[in-house]
Amino acid sequence: MDQTFSPLSPSPRLLLGPGPSQIAPRVLRACATPLLGYLDAEYLRMMDDVQTLLRMVMGTKNDWTMCVPGTGMAGMEAALVNVVEPGDQVLVCVAGAFGERMVDLATRMGGVVSRVDAEWGTMVQPEQVKEALKTLRPKVVCIVNAETSTGVLQPLAEIGKLAHEAGALFLVDCVTSLGGMPVNMDAMGVDVLYSGTQKCLGAPPSLAPISFSPAAVEVYRSRKTVVPSFYLDAGQIWRYWGPERGYHQTGMVNMLYALREALVMISEEGLEARFARHRQNQKALVAGAEAMGLELAVKDPALRLPSLTTILIPEGVDDATVRRNLINQYGIEIGSGMGKFAGKAWRVGLMGYASQRANVMLLLAALGDLLKNERVDEGLAAASAAYAAA
């Protein structure tokens, strides 16, 4: 082979998109720690640490708390494939692209899927779910807590109560919320919760934390059919993560090192302080953007995610050109819109380690420059005032 390859040297980037998020240096160092065997006693103790820390962040006491090998989509698929069998009724609340994916996956698994829809940029109302449950008896009610495509924060408590009153499991996507805001799995009555490591948890992509309530475990154990995916079979994964320590697949050793370090950082910071930091930086970003005359896609402030903000693209501005120049001139990545917001909105993530005041101010200044925004000074002043008022 005549072709030669230079040593790996990725360009530096400030990741302020919808994920992956910026990783703290100590988490990156953990990734480079020498390998252990995936059944080494020392490594198994690290798995125990991760379980304990995940239960803390999730707000649960569930035994079946573990990591699915794969990204957040593996978590979604694992959550559904373990509790949905062919012919089961499934009710999915859809307010964005990831609610749509739940519909797709549940349908592929043979579920009889009904849906409750909300406009992009708004939340699913409990009254809609209550109305649907008058004629449905679903086995599972599914919803996205933090809709990554829209930046909407979906309240859970009332819908979870309705699901349980109907005798259904409550299954929740927390990919963009876990580690950046309270999820309180047990208090919210969530039976199946899944997430991804690459967002607010602050680790590289490759693992999907997941937890099953005792009721969900009983549904799994009462299946009439075998889980069609061996790799994502929660019982098989639990054989490895639980007391048996049975072989399922080769553990993702270095990624677990990284996740453990990221979770330790969360523990050191404290959940309340971490959640307050995410919310404070989001409020400053919003204040700065609005002072610059930029419009937000989510109109109700109470429904705006602390981890991801959707900013509508000003009329006459080319989406791809701005994002390309942000990378080329400033080394900053933000996300494009998805689905109905494609070409209409930017998705700005302030997740985990990336949720910092310096990043908020830099992004506002960079956007102001590229948009030739004459109010950028007002935007920076408004963001600064938001910090001063905290």
Is the pLDDT assigned to residue 59 strictly greater than 90?
yes
Q: How far, in Å, CA of 90 to CA of 8, rounded? A: 46
Q: Which of 362, 299, 376, 304 is nearest to 334 (CA)?
A: 362
- pLDDT given for residue 65 in this prediction: 98
Query: If you average pLDDT over residues 251-274, what whole number do you get?
Result: 97
Query: If you average pLDDT over residues 144-149, what whole number do you get?
Result: 98
- pLDDT given for residue 3 in this prediction: 87
Q: Which of 288, 365, 374 is nearest to 14 (CA)?
A: 365
Task: Using the Cα atoms of residue 10, residue 15, residue 21 and residue 22 in order, give the sign of their dihedral.
Answer: positive
* pLDDT confidence band for 2 (50 / 70 / 90): confident
- pLDDT given for residue 390 in this prediction: 81
Is the pLDDT assigned to residue 23 strictly greater than 80?
yes
Q: Which of 263, 380, 364, 353 is nearest to 311 (CA)?
A: 364
Task: Using the Cα atoms of residue 153, residue 91, residue 142 and residue 70 in order, give the sign of their dihedral.
Answer: negative
Backbone angles phi, psi at 291, to 5 degrees: -65, -25
Structure tokens that stand for 262 in this block: 């990221």
Which residues, including other chains, have CB under 8 Å from residue 161's CB and lie 6 or more apart?
A: 189
Question: Does the domain made of 270-389 have the CATH classification 3.90.1150.10?
Answer: yes
270-389 has the same fold as 25-267: no
* pLDDT confidence band for 1 (50 / 70 / 90): low
* Rg of the chain taking only CA atoms, in angstroms: 21
Measured between alpha carbons, how far is residue 201 from residues 10, 144, 180, 234 in Å?
23, 17, 7, 22
Q: Which of 170, 373, 177, 161 is nearest to 271 (CA)?
A: 177
Measured between alpha carbons, how far is residue 311 from residues 85, 299, 325 in Å?
39, 11, 17
Query: If you average pLDDT over residues 250-257, what whole number do you get?
Result: 96
Which residues, including other chains, have CB under 8 Å from residue 91's CB and lie 6 or more apart?
A: 113, 114, 115, 116, 129, 132, 133, 136, 138, 140, 141, 142, 168
Q: How far, in Å, CA of 62 to CA of 120, rounded? A: 33
CB 135 within 8 A of CB 87: no
* pLDDT confidence band for 358 (50 / 70 / 90): very high
Is the pLDDT assigned to residue 114 strictly greater than 80?
yes
- Whether the model clears a pTM of 0.95, i.e. scores above it, the answer is yes
Q: Where are the domains of the chain?
A: 25-267, 270-389
Structure tokens that stand for 5 in this block: 């390859």
Q: Which amino acid is at 221?
A: R
Fold of 25-267: Aspartate Aminotransferase; domain 2 (3.40.640)
Long-range contacts of 43-48 (CB under 8 A, 24+ apart): 43/251, 43/253, 43/256, 44/245, 46/256, 46/257, 46/260, 47/241, 47/251, 47/256
Mean pLDDT of the chain: 97
